[in-house]
């Protein structure tokens, strides 16, 4: 395995194509720049996959600005609208703590049951 990132490979291909001509097989240079912007804005390929109930818990926690470490000890949380987690959800959070933390930090995940992508709104 190399230390090269997917972004490094993408940049190398883009730079190589850009060096040929203003048009590459009929594509204007602006199109390549458009693809670069799309790539910059695209979600990661390896989104965390979490159960729906856990995703709702993350959404709730983020809406009240709960600290991540507190999300692991739901018994200590006393906030309006807090819905007690099922034992299955608690077990999943503990056994999959890295995935849970990644979903929390990214603010985006795939719902295990439906495959839907959930993306939290950025703070304004």
Say what the pLDDT of residue 24 is: 54
Q: How far is CA 100 from the centre of its chain?
A: 11
34 & 58 share domain: no
For residue 61, give Cα distances in angstroms to 65, 66, 88, 124.
Answer: 6, 5, 18, 17
Residue 80 lies in a domain: yes
87 CB contacts (<8 Å, ≥6 apart)?
none
Say what the pLDDT of residue 124 is: 44
For residue 66, give Cα distances in angstroms to 20, 23, 77.
Answer: 52, 51, 9
Q: Which domain holds residue 21?
A: 6-41
Reported pTM? 0.73
Q: Which residues of the chain have pLDDT under 50?
A: 124
53 & 34 share domain: no
Say what the pLDDT of residue 23 is: 56
77 & 36 share domain: no
Say what the pLDDT of residue 102 is: 96
32 & 54 share domain: no
Number of domains making up the chain: 2
Say what the pLDDT of residue 53 is: 94
72 & 104 share domain: yes
Q: Look-up: residue for tokens 């790539």?
A: 39
78 CB contacts (<8 Å, ≥6 apart)?
none
Helix-, strand-, coil-residue percentages of the chain, each rounded to 5: 50, 10, 40
Q: What is the pLDDT of residues 90-109, one digit of tens each?
A: 899 999 999 999 999 999 99
26 & 59 share domain: no
73 & 109 share domain: yes
Residue 124 lies in a domain: no
64 & 110 share domain: yes
100 & 59 share domain: yes
80 & 37 share domain: no
Residue 11 lies in a domain: yes
């Amino acid at each position: 395995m190399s230390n090269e990132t997917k972004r490094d490979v993408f940049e190398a291909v883009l730079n190589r194509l850009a060096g040929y001509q203003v048009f590459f097989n009929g594509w204007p240079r602006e199109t390549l720049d458009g693809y670069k912007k799309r790539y910059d804005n695209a979600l990661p390929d390896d989104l965390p996959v979490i159960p729906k109930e856990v995703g709702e818990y993350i959404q709730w926690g983020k809406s009240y600005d709960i600290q991540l470490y507190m999300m692991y000890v739901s018994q200590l949380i006393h906030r309006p609208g807090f819905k007690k987690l099922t034992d299955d959800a608690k077990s999943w959070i503990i056994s999959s703590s890295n995935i849970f933390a990644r979903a929390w930090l990214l603010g985006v995940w795939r719902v295990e049951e439906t495959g839907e992508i959930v993306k939290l709104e950025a703070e304004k």
